[in-house]
Amino acid sequence: MVKTQSEVLFFYGPDCPVCKTMAPFIDEAGEKFGGRVPLQKVNTAENRALAGKYRVMAVPTTIAVSNGEEITRVVGARTPGALRRVFESAETGEVLESGISNVDRGMRIGVAVGFAGFALWTGAWVLWIFVAAAFVFAFWDKIRR
C-alpha cells in the first residue's frame, strides 16, 4: 500500500457564526484521526492566497487533500459524522460524494414541473428559462463532475 500525503483544510471566517459552531466538531474529528490526517485551519481573512488557490467562495469550507490534489469538498455546516467522512476520504484517498439529498433533488424537480405547468397554462415562454434553471440545479451535483 502506497502512503499518501493527506490533510484536511478547514477554511473559516473570523466573524462567521456557523464556523464558530462547527469548530469543536472539526477539532474532535481532527483529534480522532490523530497524526494520520493533519488538520489545517485557515482563516480566509488572513490567508487569502490559500483560499484563492482552492477557490473558496463561502465559509465554512472543508477540503480533503491527498498528494496535493483536492479530492473532497464540503461547503457549509455539516454534522460531526459528515466531517469524519471528510477525514476518512483524506486518509484513504477516495472521493467522497457530497451531492444533494434525494429529498432536495425531488423538491427541485417538483419546482421545475410546477414552472412547466404554469408556463404551459399562461403561454409565457420566458417561464421556460426558470424550468431549465430548476432542472439544472436539481442535477448540478451530477453534471459538474
| Helix axis angle, 102-122 to 127-143, nearest 10° | 160
- Under the banding of pLDDT at 50, 70 and 90, the label for residue 2 is very low
Q: 65 - beta bridge partners?
A: 7, 70
Q: For the chain, what are the domain ranges?
A: 6-92, 102-143
pLDDT in tens, 47-63: 999 999 999 998 999 99
Better-scored residue on pLDDT, 143 or 113: 113
Residues 86, 65: Cα–Cα separation, whole Å: 10
pLDDT in tens, 34-90: 778 999 999 999 999 999 999 999 899 999 998 888 998 888 888 888 889 899 989
Residues 40, 25: Cα–Cα separation, whole Å: 14
Neighbours of 34 (CB within 10 A): 8
Summarize the confidence of residues 94-102 as an average pLDDT. Answer: 72
Residues 65, 11: Cα–Cα separation, whole Å: 13
Which residues fall within 8 angstroms of residue 14, CB to CB, at 6 or more apart? 43, 45
The CATH number of 6-92, from 3.20.20.140, 3.40.30.10, 3.20.20.70, 3.40.228.10, is 3.40.30.10
